[in-house]
Structure 1
């Protein structure tokens, strides 16, 4: 496979040349008859497969490959408009457009437009996904550059939002809720996420204050759409880490989307401290087909098969850590292996019926089955030394003293079979100035879980407990759980125009869980105000968010279930301000939002890499507050860049926890939550390279401050250690061989491809050792040390993305 990819790169790079002309750019704002900007207007260059949509300020930018062309502007409920252009090559045109309402579809456009305006969400620029240098290759990794999102693991698609954990985030694809595998312990085991980036047509992300129509989670919503493409497309993407094939076909009354993906990132993993034979193989296939029986009735089917197998035969490990005055080194030799595998089969069918223009009804049914297994049987013999660092930073001198010697053994045979069935009806209807929405949903989750794992540590009598006669096993779990959970939910919301400049949305959810036997009511409100200037938006949200107990939260670290657990709840409020302005010769957008979340009932937990260990029998109360800021735009002509910063503080108080010290009872009070990452900063910057319009550079920089942590078996109030701050810079360089800015085109490529882009990427450019978790060992004095588990080092990658021409 590697030789094939390298041969493909050389073939592309060695092709001949021909002449081309630069692109024409058209940008502007689309208004309605009342001079209010229209969002989600589709803008298409006819005959060129170039398309985009306007943002919440009605702003758009699109390019044409030819000097003479036509652009079509369309939005449901408005009369489409086609404008013709005849410009010089490389021209920059500003074109404002006014769309007239179509009286025959006026009700339906009110549904669409108000729902787009009344959303506390960020629209993700899909075009940035391909150019952003990402180790994991998963779509969710892009979220880590958004305000409010915290990260400290480049191998994983999991993310924390405003102090919440990985299990508090909702993900939808075409209104179908997506769930992730449960047994994954660390990023190197994680394969392909459910979302296929090449199939995504629209994406919105809300870091809080989301609408009542979304489900019952505490933190965030990612809303993905796989929609009808504007033309037939065939896309091949390959690199040293990933390969994908995508086909999009448009028929007279239907369309088809199909995607195949394969991932093997062993070249990244082999450079970690733990050496061995890595065999991570992940693949998936997705297909979506929609058939339009008429303009009012269609059926769509989404199918997916995702599988992964991670195998590791470790050989040895050497980790150096400590301070300038005390340098420690851990050497481990291994025997054994680890094999983890999972497979997910999912399908969803959606029936959409619009009996009249002001009414849309959706009936959605989905079924997902995930089978997971993890098997590990590994023995490690270690030597723990203090060494002399006087010689150099990299080459340490002789051993000063031995801190410990011994071995440890980890054993596990775990399996989990998860089945989730859901059926839902969603209705949107317009009544004059109101957009009324409601829905009903039933879902049933079935879990068959078998846990059998233990470990022990033997360090020549140094580590307690010391028993010379018997081996004392630690963290023994041997249990089987079988449980069904049923949830019934309903929502209702009304979007109302208070004036030409203000919108109000009121909504509420009701949920009943068979596990907690609680009826939960969650009211929510959103107010949006747009001043007469049209370049500012003010938003205020307030709401109650409740998360019924799930299988993850009721299972403690011993495998036992707390079936009496009640729902978690959070009371959220936020105020946001968006401002679009002209500066540096371009259009920029500034967004900001301050928030406060108070929770009177939470399930506390500890985090070890990607594994969340819930303290299922305990309850806490807590709060989180902070602010998010971002600014983005074309700082460099034709390339969008973003800068964002988030500050946040999250605490919790475990109810009833205490300990005895010097004969006195101590109540710890409020503790830092495991996700209390005070500062997050990210940059995604793009620029031209070598004064050439076809060579670009893409820089992705992340910083996340330290996170609290402690040994997995100790009480939460002893988590006084910290994972160091996360610092990472990834950079990519790209060459678009068929960009019309180019002075020459390879002739072979021009005949057979619409687009050919070659990327050279450097992951972790500064080769920073980021820590994700710790191995906890004690020395001869029974002093416990945290030996860091480092993430990936510097890595080079080549990536090629080609779009084939459609043959007549």
Structure 2
């Protein structure tokens, strides 16, 4: 431990003697040959981490950490342009650039630019990924700082968007739709998400109102791109929670991305109430290779192999909770173990063909197979006490009364094998001021699911509910399911300009699912108006979103399948306003959007940790409405910070549900509960990602991430009512990270040994859950002999320290 402390002190204090000099700030405008501004031109400083995009008026600002450097301007349809800059002293300079069209890709510029303007998405700042302090380390952690996104679990990569559940979110990597394992029921079982952050060059996220070219889900779209790198590169990241190695190789007509990752969050899990021997090991390998046969034709291959095993031999648990008036304590001694594992393998081949300058056609074929295993046989002997209230100098409170003594047993032997095969064609074509897009997709999903599990509770020698004539098992499941589902989908959309300041996009999706035999038609519209001032934009979206049944949604609590389930349907409308302005000494961007969703038909569910349990035989309707706000900018030069706030209300009415209630005279009456809060009804969400510099040196930085999510409704898993009349407390979390780049170009002197082998050497020291807040993720439900049920909170992770290094090796070619 002493060695670790000395290492940290050496890293963060050993280089304070380094004198820094100001950054070079480059501003300018990017134009085409007709002097029209170009939006979304990517500008990077070669050999450094700095990158930016041009604004709607073609302007840009970027910082370099040396006085001699090269800027690269890259935009689809135009030839890449390299601008060498060699200044004698640091300062501010202006460079205006004119890009020359690439004849073979000229019309693709119109395609891309028009679709970007008419996309109801927000661009994710890729430069923030490494700096964001995150326990999970997955790419999806940055989504939880976006408006409209809510979560109450730092260990999970799953998220809820505007009242939807985790299964309603679409994820694409290079236009390939990605799915996730089914059996995971606790976030600690989650491993590495499919997205490799080292490969991501662009990412967009839509919290609703997305266009027709995206798939048939109800809530959101994450669109990630792995693009051609600028140069050869080898990057190693290592820390207390895992390691990764990524290699990027560029040739004349091809490029290769190869990544290996390993994750082990044993240090985090050991801080939980459940004490025991944790062994969580996760790893993956991912490869992307693309070869350009000509300027018109290329083929790329994406391969992935992702494995994970979570093993737990529990020992004991002690949880103390309650109020000032009533203090409760649960003590549990365990025997048995849990072993959960998954394996996902597969890949995709994409052929891109541009037979004409204004036409781009893609053919994408993919195959993925997943094998999941769930094994646990755990017995817990518990003592449930009520403690004396007040304060005790010894720290140990005496027991006031015993609430229950007993045991519970959890057993499972579950196996799920799933396969997804798909092929699709997508095309974009421009003519006049139109961009016409269409696509067709065939998909086949196979599931073989063997379920065998039960839960037994025994309090003071009585099996609950008590019946002397039979042995009773709660939640006993023994099923074997085999299901094949075929999906056929198609879309068409057109983006065009109504006036110089008004753009319109109209599209429609059609789909057919062999499980439902339904033909689903989903029209969608997006209208954008940009006043001549060019610093603001108004958006309006409306559309129908329909989600065909999946294996998740048709499987009930007991493992039985509802093969008569129909598609879920939602009618969405939203209005947004974006405004860019100068304030607080920098350029700020304010975004806002108000939305309303009428869920005409959806399958109700309950949420247990990260597992969704559908009431597959029920149907519900509901409303969701709210507003999202965000403001961000470089409050500190070269460091982007964001403040986000969301308000939302989501309710549901399960059609035909009712329960019996005894009135004051002792008679039972039937109650129809009507509209109740949805399990994801988190009324308020607030997030801050703020970055600053320390010690009067640009090489030392601090990265602060704060999240707040208000209470979530929850109910007993054995309740006869479909109402959640209990609440999970508000989620509050603060993570902070400190970084130092020892080879920062702005430093006068650098460590010679590091400078010889590395182009970048960055150290991070992070404190997770800085305030050590006990956040509740779920509850353990126990009963006493009077059949009174108690909710014992399962807490998330406590305060934890982490250290990691990101090393970029020099290219000695």
Q: Could you list the per-position Cα deviations for residues 437-459 of structure 1 after superposition, in whole angstroms to 9, with x for gaps in the alignment?
A: 00000000000000000011111
**Contact in 1 for aligned 2:639/2:692 (Cα 8 Å):** yes
Deviates more, 1:584-593 or 1:35-44: 35-44
**Contact in 2 for aligned 1:174/1:224 (Cα 8 Å):** yes
Residue in 1 aligned with 2:696?
Answer: 691
Residue in 2 aligned with 1:444?
Answer: 444
Whole-Å separation in 2 of the counterparts to 1:682 and 1:14: 31
Whole-Å separation in 2 of the counterparts to 1:110 and 1:153: 41
Residue in 2 aligned with 1:346?
Answer: 346
Cα deviation for residue 718 of structure 1 reads 3.6
**Contact in 1 for aligned 2:708/2:731 (Cα 8 Å):** yes
Residue in 2 aligned with 1:750?
Answer: 755
What stretches of structure 2 of length at least 5 have no aligned partner? Answer: none
Gap change, CA 1:344 and 1:393, over 3 Å in 2? farther
Whole-Å separation in 2 of the counterparts to 1:281 and 1:667: 48
**Contact in 2 for aligned 1:576/1:591 (Cα 8 Å):** yes
1:666 maps onto 2:667 in alignment: no
Whole-Å separation in 2 of the counterparts to 1:26 and 1:749: 28
Q: Could you list the per-position Cα deviations for residues 248-277 of structure 1 after superposition, in whole angstroms to 9, with x for gaps in the alignment?
A: 010111000010000000000011000000
Residue in 2 aligned with 1:73?
Answer: 73
1:807 maps onto 2:812 in alignment: yes
Task: Map 1:155-166 to 2 at 5 A.
Answer: 155-166=155-166
Cα deviation for residue 709 of structure 1 reads 0.2
Residue in 1 aligned with 2:572?
Answer: 572
Whole-Å separation in 2 of the counterparts to 1:155 and 1:164: 19
Gap change, CA 1:252 and 1:15, over 3 Å in 2? farther
1:283 maps onto 2:304 in alignment: no
Cα deviation for residue 807 of structure 1 reads 1.3
Q: Could you list the per-position Cα deviations for residues 399-449 of structure 1 after superposition, in whole angstroms to 9, with x for gaps in the alignment?
A: 011000000001000010000001000010111111100000000000000
Residue in 1 aligned with 2:474?
Answer: 474
Helix, strand or coil for the counterpart of 2:755? helix
**Contact in 1 for aligned 2:56/2:534 (Cα 8 Å):** no
**Contact in 1 for aligned 2:231/2:250 (Cα 8 Å):** yes
Helix, strand or coil for the counterpart of 1:217? coil
Residue in 2 aligned with 1:740?
Answer: 745
Residue in 2 aligned with 1:494?
Answer: 494
**Contact in 2 for aligned 1:280/1:310 (Cα 8 Å):** yes
Cα deviation for residue 396 of structure 1 reads 3.7
Cα deviation for residue 108 of structure 1 reads 2.4
Whole-Å separation in 2 of the counterparts to 1:79 and 1:535: 28
Cα deviation for residue 12 of structure 1 reads 7.3
1:788 maps onto 2:793 in alignment: yes
RMSD (CA atoms): 2.3
Q: Could you list the per-position Cα deviations for residues 614-663 of structure 1 after superposition, in whole angstroms to 9, with x for gaps in the alignment?
A: 00000000110000000111001111100000000000100011122233
Gap change, CA 1:59 and 1:609, over 3 Å in 2? farther
Cα deviation for residue 11 of structure 1 reads 9.7
Q: Could you list the per-position Cα deviations for residues 365-386 of structure 1 after superposition, in whole angstroms to 9, with x for gaps in the alignment?
A: 0000000000000000000001
Helix, strand or coil for the counterpart of 1:140? helix
Residue in 2 aligned with 1:253?
Answer: 253
Helix, strand or coil for the counterpart of 1:127? helix
Deviates more, 1:12-21 or 1:207-216: 12-21
**Contact in 2 for aligned 1:433/1:496 (Cα 8 Å):** yes
Helix, strand or coil for the counterpart of 1:713? coil
Gap change, CA 1:4 and 1:214, over 3 Å in 2? farther
Helix, strand or coil for the counterpart of 2:216? coil
Whole-Å separation in 2 of the counterparts to 1:336 and 1:724: 31
Whole-Å separation in 2 of the counterparts to 1:532 and 1:548: 42
Whole-Å separation in 1 of the counterparts to 2:626 and 2:102: 44
Whole-Å separation in 2 of the counterparts to 1:394 and 1:187: 36
Cα deviation for residue 77 of structure 1 reads 3.5
Whole-Å separation in 2 of the counterparts to 1:59 and 1:779: 68
Cα deviation for residue 34 of structure 1 reads 7.3
Helix, strand or coil for the counterpart of 2:331? strand
Q: Could you list the per-position Cα deviations for residues 319-348 of structure 1 after superposition, in whole angstroms to 9, with x for gaps in the alignment?
A: 000000110000000010000000000210
Deviates more, 1:178-187 or 1:453-462: 453-462
Gap change, CA 1:727 and 1:48, over 3 Å in 2? closer
Whole-Å separation in 1 of the counterparts to 2:578 and 2:9: 46
Whole-Å separation in 2 of the counterparts to 1:57 and 1:779: 68
Q: TM-score, normalised by structure 1?
A: 0.96
Helix, strand or coil for the counterpart of 2:787? coil
Residue in 1 aligned with 2:140?
Answer: 140
Whole-Å separation in 2 of the counterparts to 1:503 and 1:159: 32
Gap change, CA 1:394 and 1:472, over 3 Å in 2? farther
Cα deviation for residue 38 of structure 1 reads 2.8
Helix, strand or coil for the counterpart of 1:131? coil
Task: Map 1:203-602 to 2 at 5 A.
Answer: 203-392=203-392, 395-461=395-461, 464-468=464-468, 471-602=471-602
Q: TM-score, normalised by structure 2?
A: 0.95
Whole-Å separation in 1 of the counterparts to 2:59 and 2:182: 41
Whole-Å separation in 2 of the counterparts to 1:789 and 1:393: 27
1:761 pairs, out of 762, 766, 776, with 766
Q: Could you list the per-position Cα deviations for residues 478-509 of structure 1 after superposition, in whole angstroms to 9, with x for gaps in the alignment?
A: 00000100000000000101122211100000
Whole-Å separation in 1 of the counterparts to 2:347 and 2:5: 36
Residue in 2 aligned with 1:701?
Answer: 706
**Contact in 1 for aligned 2:366/2:421 (Cα 8 Å):** yes
